[in-house]
Amino acid sequence: MRAPGEYGAGDTVGKDMTLKRLLTVVLIGLSTGAVLVPVFIAEGSLHIHNRIVPDSRAADYLARQNGATWQPAVLQAADGIQLQAWFFRPAEFNGGAVLLLHGIGDTRLGMTGHLQYLLRNGYAALTPDARGHGSSGGGLVTYGLKEARDTAMWAQWLDGQPGVERIYGLGESMGAGVLIQSLVYHPGFRAIVAECPFSTFEDVAEYRVGSRLLPLVAWPVVRMASWYSRLRYGVDVMRASPIAALRRSKTPVLLIHGTADVNIPPQESRDLHAANPASTVLWEVAGATHVAAQTAEPREYPRRVLSWFGSH
């Protein structure tokens, strides 16, 4: 009989086997997570699930409320998908038309908060659904790789409308990043406003993964997700880079960013401004969260936007 606390060789072997099984399970779990997490991140970034399709009755209401008329607009993108928008024209048109681009997961409805001050000051407005969003076609979101060309085509569409003499743009979040990237393909914008843009997709992806998981794993996870998206869909979203487009642009850009933005940090707009200080102005809105500058500054926001467009 063993004395209390005394173990035999069989017990030691049994403990070793249990430890090995536990380590094996842990390693399998870590390996599986290392593969699945980047896949989930990539799929979640590239697709919009449960799309909201804007109702045309909303356009009727908005036009009536602002003394304007509207018409549906349809465009076929370079790769054949159909893009859809609403085009609003004020009763007293000043010749300026503004292209409004929404953020990720949103639709054209998300930009209608800008219609009142634009239409009532004589600007026409075009509100498209981005590819992969709302009623526009396409299954993938590419953060500007394809959307920038779509935006350039919408600008050309606007340029062909009766009475339009000047084209402007205003984008929020992803729409702001896309709008800046579109300057490569359509330098004819008189001026644009970009609220809470990202400087590069790589930057914002690492920031978001790091804030949700651990900063140390952000770099490898983002690159594995990028590798997956290239292998599965032939799309390398890591090439989406507003800062690269802005460096070679002469289009005036008003950058707006809330200091309390934890979705896309204000450093992204600071980096954009530093990349081309001659063509950009940065307005940081104290205490404003993501794309909430107009809520934080309901009078100053439209004043600055209208002044920016009016001076170009």
Residue-level pLDDT at 27: 37
Place of tokens 């038309």: 97
Residue 213 has pLDDT above 90, yes or no: no
Q: Do 268 and 198 touch, CB atoms closer than 8 A?
A: yes
Domains of the chain: 6-46+202-238 (no CATH), 56-200+240-310 (3.40.50.1820)
Report d(CA 171, CA 197) in Å as an integer: 8
pTM: 0.87
27: how many CB neighbours lie within 10 A of its CB?
Answer: 10
Select from 210, 216, 168, 198 the least CA-distant residue to 271: 198
118: how many CB neighbours lie within 10 A of its CB?
Answer: 25
Residue 285 has pLDDT above 80, yes or no: yes
pLDDT in tens, 64-78: 999 999 999 999 999
What is the average per-residue pLDDT within 189-213?
90
Residues in CB range of 1: below 8 A, 6 or more apart: none
Residue-level pLDDT at 10: 54
Select from 72, 187, 167 the least CA-distant residue to 123: 167
pLDDT confidence bin for 17, thresholds 50/70/90: low
Residue 24 has pLDDT above 60, yes or no: no
92: how many CB neighbours lie within 10 A of its CB?
Answer: 10
pLDDT confidence bin for 55, thresholds 50/70/90: very high
How far from the centroid of its chain's Cα atoms is residue 285's Cα? 19
Residue 30 has pLDDT above 50, yes or no: no
250: phi then psi, degrees, rounded to nearest 5:
-115, 5
How far from the centroid of its chain's Cα atoms is residue 60's Cα? 27
